[in-house]
Each structure stands twice: as C-alpha cells, then as structure tokens.
Amino acid sequence: MSFGVIIPGVSSTVILMLLGKYSTYLNAISSLNFSVLLPMGIGLIIGSFLLLFFIKYLFKFYKSIAFATIVGFMLGSIPVMTPHVTSIYALILGTFALFLGFYTTLKLSALH
C-alpha cells in the first residue's frame, strides 16, 4: 500500500487487488477489525518512510531509471484497471489516446 500512497499513478487499490487482499481490507474497514487494520496501518507508515528514503536515493543517483520505473508502474496498471477491454481496436485507440495526452501535456507545459 505504501507504493500506492507515494508513487503517482500507482493505486493502493490495484496493488491490494493484485495481491488478493482487497476484500480482506474492505471487510476490515467495514467491521472496524483492528487486528487487520492496525498491522496494515503500521506497515503503511513504516513502508512509506522507507520508500521515500529509497526514492530520494534513486532520484539522486539514478534519475532516468527512477522515472522509467514510475512510468512502467503506471503503464503496467492499465490492464488491471481495464479488464473489460478485449478488442485489439479498443487497445490501440486507448494507447493512441494515452500518447496523445502525453504529447499535449508536453506541448502545454512548454508554453509556461
């Protein structure tokens, strides 16, 4: 969950779904099961601080690799968030829209 809190574009929900713990997390929240929530909260806090120090180190010494990793996490989460896309045409159109969005963002940021 720490990755989802710290890294932009990475969702804690998606991470919990990939690990198969999302329903456990939701049930613990709905029933206020502190035997599940407390360890998750402590792990979230400790993991967040460790991840922040690690990311700071990576950006100081390996800036391009750190950016590529973050973009990889964001792109890798797309299939998990869109499981209903089964058509290759929808996938191609979505990829085109993604790159068009990146291009537009770059062009608009150059105006400032």
Share of the chain above pLDDT 90, in %: 13
* Cβ partners under 8 Å of residue 10, min gap 6: 3, 4, 70, 73, 74, 77
Residue where the block lists tokens 């402590």: 42
61 and 36 in one domain? yes
Whether 91 has a pLDDT exceeding 80, the answer reads no
109 and 89 in one domain? yes
The pTM for the full model equals 0.53
The pLDDT of residue 70 is: 76
Higher pLDDT, 42 or 66: 42
54 and 88 in one domain? no
Could you give the C-alpha distances from 54 to 40, 47, 48, in angstroms and in order?
20, 10, 10
Domain of 106 in residue numbering reads as 84-112
94 and 67 in one domain? no
